[in-house]
Structure 1
Amino acid sequence: MAEHLLEVRNLSVEFHTAMGVVKAVRSISYHLGRGETLAILGESGSGKSVSSSAIMNLIDMPPGRISSGEILLNGADLLKMPAHERRKINGSRIAMIFQDPLSHLNPVYTVGWQIREALTTHGADAAKAQSEALRLIARVGVPHPERALDKYPHEFSGGQRQRVMIAMALALRPDLLIADEPTTALDVTVQAEVLALLKELQEETGMAVMIITHDLGVVAEIADRVVVMEKGELVETGTVREVYHNPQHPYTKRLIAAAPGKGEMHAPQGFGEPVLRVRDVRKHYGAFEALKGVSFDLMPGETMAVVGESGSGKSTLARILLRLDEADSGSALWKGRDLFTLSPGELYKLRRDLQMVFQDPTQSLNPRMTVFQLISEAWIIHPDILPKAKWRERVAELLVQVGLGPEHMGRYPHQFSGGQRQRIAIARALALEPQLIICDEAVSALDVSVQAQVIALLDRLRREMGIAFIFIAHDLPVVRDFANHVMVMQQGNVVEMGTVSEIFDTPREDYTRALLAAGLDPDPDIQAANRAARLRQVS
């Protein structure tokens, strides 16, 4: 038997594009033992997802090409196996769960059918597949498992869809589970539940886990060892404690230094009259009451963070404030004018002052427009902002501000990673020089160093230009670093509101304390202590 379950040796992957050859992975080597959890840590473009796709044979070839290396599973080189043997291994020996389960679950089939398909494809009969699908959906904690099997993917929350993906991945009891950013878009409490579930299932089955992430907190919570990648190269490896407390490579040191939640908290500004007064806003969708009387004030140049789990009403509030949905009752006074009663013409003139950065840039960016067209479109709609001769220069400036470059303005959204697409969306919002930006999970998909860069940019804009922010987020350390005030929401209600120091240092409500306790600290020693404290509370 091979010494390691998985061994990657001198793997190189390149892509042939119209702009030339892109070397995505450059001669990397690492190994993974049975029952071990290895984290592949790096930013967008580091090659971490490409290397895992090579293991699963998911790279499109062409334009991709594995130019060198070996991928050994129990000593057998996967790259030398014929296609039919490789297909037998995928699912049965190696399984994968993805960052966005909605994109990887078939929308026209029930989740029960999709789990059963994974089993019947590998030889299980219909009765066995049905009983095993029911056992799996119950084991991963999806409520009402019998009914859940007959539901479609869109009928589940994000966290439940991720649990369904885990059930599918574990259907054939693989030796290795690859998890590619499995918790990036999840609420903090759901993230903790999914990571705990992965750990429990690993202990039950003895499988090895490879988790691909840009989140140091996830690494501290679940991993035994970590591999750090930058620009396709492996720059550092070691145990989680070794790499965090004694990093050797400058890139690793920058990643750790950029981890949020360690800086000074922002004090309230409190100058002048509020620019936005929201009073008793309510919204129903049929019998469901999404907002139950939300009220708050926003001062000029301040950030109001809105936190809470999925279904708490955060995004509904954002859409209503921008009149993308209509409130049932209540008022929102922007500099004394009620946004809810403005005519379409009045609202059109006000749009340049109120901008939004949406959670999913794939949905909010037109796939047929280049980056230059996406950003400069704002000046077509509002031509008095900037003369056309200066558009290219200003687009280049905005791209540099959000961590991209002028060379990116001719590309299309699909040519970027998820984090890069979100940077483009932020640049587009800044193009109109607004006075209020509503950020709906705007930095949740960004790498830790780019996240820090974008937060620093937004903070500078707040200080220099007096821009106010409504900052919807599930990443509490980022909220701690950026916000002046925090509003905690649960099931349409505001359960607590206060300054950032009041919420983080002396929370009054049990729900707020539960949210804070579920957060992940990048320091493995602190996270281990937090985990032990949670276990003591449960016992």
Structure 2
Amino acid sequence: MADHLLEVRDLSVEFHTAAGTVKAVQNVNWYLDRGETLAILGESGSGKSVSASAVMNLIDMPPGKITSGAILLNGKDMLKMSAEERRAINGAKIAMIFQDPLAHLNPVFTVGWQIAEMMTTHGRPRDKAAARARDLLHRVGLPEPDLAFGKYPHQFSGGQRQRLMIAMALACKPDILIADEPTTALDVTVQAQVLALLEELQQETGMGLLLITHDLGVVAEIADRVVVMNGGQIVETGNASEVYHNPQHPYTKKLIAAAPGSGEMPEESDRRGEPLLRATDLHKYYSAFHALKGVDLTIMPGETVAVVGESGSGKSTLARAILRLDDPSSGQIHYRGKDLMTLGPRELFGLRRDLQMVFQDPTQSLNPRMTVFQLISEAWAIHPEILPRKQWRDRVAELLTKVGLKPEMAVRYPHQFSGGQRQRIAIARALAMEPKLIVCDEAVSALDVSIQAQVIELLAGLRREMGLSYLFIAHDLPVVRDFADRVIVMKSGEIVEEGPVRQIFEAPRKDYTRALLAASLDPDPEIQAARRTARMELEMAVSA
């Protein structure tokens, strides 16, 4: 009998690039037992996803190369198996949930067909596979699963697409589930539901769960043991409570110190004077679906207004309507006194400098054919009055440094970065326009905690220096607590509560707001255990 369900021994992976050899993983050792949750914690580029990709045989070779080690499944080294043997294992024995769902869902097939295909590929009859796919859509919390079965990936929100990926991975009841940032795009209540579902499935099947994350709250909620990685190496291991309360390595201490939600909440901002932007009675219809229902919003100069709520609550629809990326069905939007709804294309083009957006999914918002330098400097080609061409290279280097990247990365393409790094590039691109208002649609949700703290401090510093305003759409409530001046809580296209950040977090008036706060994860495993108990009691009270 094998000592462990899955064991990685002395694994080293390197990539050969034009700039030289990158040692992504160096002599890594870890194991996973049946029924156990192991979290691999680390920042973007630490090697955590590369080691998981090696387990799934998903490393492109070349340019990648596994230079040493063994990956043992029930004692058998998968690195010595044939391609056919590995294909039989992937999906059936080991399944993976990827960080970027849209890049891994086929846009030309319905989601029901894609989930069922996971099972038909491994021999299950089509009718039984379809029935289980509908059951899985229900279990991961998608509304109207029979209707969702026949939809396409683009018809779902970012959080809903991640739930589809989870349903697909669970289709064959694998022995091991590798979850690469599985809740990054999910709102707090759905995140809690998904983590609870994974725990429930573990209890049912004895499945081992390998969790790759930068979120200390997720580790506190679900992990039994933690492996901390930095620079391709393991720097610390232990159970979740030991690592949080008694970290030994300086890098682990830095991660814990960067966790949001422990700082001083901002005082209520002065809302006197003329607003920078005012939206009144916004409605948005998609066929028979009423996505926005009479939403009013005011943003003052230099103010950060956060919008929170579950996936499908209308947060992103509101953001796109305000910027006229998707015109509302009715209502008014005034920016500095100008009615945006009556502006023609030429006038609206002139305002694009002032109104910028950082999208939730950087894979879709960054042109894969352009280098980072081209992506950022494109703003100055379109609006040449911003910056002379001779200053472009220095300014790109400065912006990359500000968002925690290296200037020499300007020659790379988006696919050569992790998800978190791509989001930092998107933020740098928005800052290149020197805007007055930035709409951040889950702009920091994919970032690891230390870079997230750096970017939030960067955004706050720009607000102080330049008087920037933000519409900050987020599901990460600790970040909202630290960064926002006011909070708007949305549900089903309506605003259910709004007020200063202190009032929302310390004295919420609505049960829905209280449920969101109860579902938020704390990085301290002991506090999170108490919060989990409180959440369960609240759910029982609401259901009663």
> 1:130-185 CA deviation, whole Å, 9 max, x = no partner?
55545555554555555554444444454454444334333333221111111111
Counterpart-to-counterpart distance in 1, 2:324 and 2:159 = 28
Match of 2:446, as an amino acid? A
Which position in structure 2 is the counterpart of 1:285?
A: 286
Q: 1:283-322 residue pairs with structure 2 within 5 A?
A: 283-322=284-323
Which position in structure 2 is the counterpart of 1:526?
A: 527
Which position in structure 2 is the counterpart of 1:449?
A: 450
Counterpart-to-counterpart distance in 2, 1:440 and 1:357 = 6
Match of 2:9, as an amino acid? R
* Paired residue secondary structure (1:91): coil
Verify: 1:56 aligned to 2:62, yes or no: no
Root-mean-square deviation over aligned CA pairs: 2.0
Which position in structure 1 is the counterpart of 2:188?
A: 188
For the 8 Å contact 1:301–1:462, the answer to whether it is kept is: yes
Q: 1:249-268 residue pairs with structure 2 within 5 A?
A: 249-268=249-268
Q: What's the offset of the Cα at 1:53? A: 0.8
**Could you tell which deviates more after superposition, 124-133 or 71-80?**
124-133
Verify: 1:80 aligned to 2:80, yes or no: yes
Identity %: 73
Counterpart-to-counterpart distance in 2, 1:155 and 1:387 = 41
- Pair 2,65 (structure 1): closer, same or farther in 2 beyond 3 Å: same
Which position in structure 1 is the counterpart of 2:360?
A: 359
* Paired residue secondary structure (1:243): helix
For the 8 Å contact 2:141–2:190, the answer to whether it is kept is: no
Match of 1:520, as an amino acid? L
Q: 1:143-158 residue pairs with structure 2 within 5 A?
A: 143-145=143-145, 148-158=148-158
Verify: 1:487 aligned to 2:488, yes or no: yes
- Pair 342,479 (structure 1): closer, same or farther in 2 beyond 3 Å: same
* Paired residue secondary structure (1:92): coil
Counterpart-to-counterpart distance in 2, 1:281 and 1:125 = 48
Match of 2:80, as an amino acid? K
User: Which 5+ residue runs of structure 2 have no aligned equivalent?
Assistant: none
For the 8 Å contact 1:372–1:409, the answer to whether it is kept is: yes
Verify: 1:469 aligned to 2:491, yes or no: no
> 1:275-334 CA deviation, whole Å, 9 max, x = no partner?
222222222223322222222322211101111122222222212222222233332222
Verify: 1:385 aligned to 2:405, yes or no: no
Which position in structure 2 is the counterpart of 1:205?
A: 205
Match of 2:377, as an amino acid? S
For the 8 Å contact 1:268–1:302, the answer to whether it is kept is: no
With the length of structure 1 as denominator, give the TM-score of the two structures.
Answer: 0.95
Counterpart-to-counterpart distance in 2, 1:486 and 1:221 = 25
Which position in structure 2 is the counterpart of 1:512?
A: 513
Q: What's the offset of the Cα at 1:530? A: 0.9
* Paired residue secondary structure (1:300): coil
* Paired residue secondary structure (2:260): coil
Q: What's the offset of the Cα at 1:425? A: 1.3
User: Which 5+ residue runs of structure 1 have no aligned equivalent?
Assistant: none
Q: What's the offset of the Cα at 1:344? A: 2.5
* Paired residue secondary structure (2:184): coil
> 1:56-85 CA deviation, whole Å, 9 max, x = no partner?
111111111110011111221111222222
**Could you tell which deviates more after superposition, 15-24 or 348-357?**
348-357
With the length of structure 2 as denominator, give the TM-score of the two structures.
Answer: 0.94
Q: 1:97-246 residue pairs with structure 2 within 5 A?
A: 97-126=97-126, 128-130=128-130, 132-133=132-133, 136-145=136-145, 148-246=148-246
- Pair 111,62 (structure 1): closer, same or farther in 2 beyond 3 Å: same
For the 8 Å contact 1:269–1:299, the answer to whether it is kept is: no
For the 8 Å contact 1:281–1:330, the answer to whether it is kept is: yes
Counterpart-to-counterpart distance in 2, 1:8 and 1:222 = 21
Would you say how many aligned residue pairs link Structure 1 and Structure 2?
A: 539
**Could you tell which deviates more after superposition, 448-457 or 384-393?**
384-393
- Pair 166,421 (structure 1): closer, same or farther in 2 beyond 3 Å: closer
Q: What's the offset of the Cα at 1:493? A: 1.1
* Paired residue secondary structure (2:275): coil
Which position in structure 1 is the counterpart of 2:39?
A: 39
Q: What's the offset of the Cα at 1:120? A: 3.4
Q: What's the offset of the Cα at 1:243? A: 0.5
Which position in structure 2 is the counterpart of 1:410?
A: 411
- Pair 71,470 (structure 1): closer, same or farther in 2 beyond 3 Å: same
Match of 1:94, as an amino acid? I
Which position in structure 1 is the counterpart of 2:324?
A: 323
**Could you tell which deviates more after superposition, 430-439 or 281-290?**
281-290
Verify: 1:23 aligned to 2:23, yes or no: yes
Counterpart-to-counterpart distance in 2, 1:141 and 1:316 = 21
Counterpart-to-counterpart distance in 1, 2:265 and 2:307 = 16
For the 8 Å contact 2:187–2:475, the answer to whether it is kept is: yes
> 1:23-52 CA deviation, whole Å, 9 max, x = no partner?
110111011111110001111111111101
Q: What's the offset of the Cα at 1:497? A: 0.9
Which position in structure 2 is the counterpart of 1:431?
A: 432
Q: 1:59-70 residue pairs with structure 2 within 5 A?
A: 59-70=59-70
Counterpart-to-counterpart distance in 1, 2:190 and 2:451 = 24
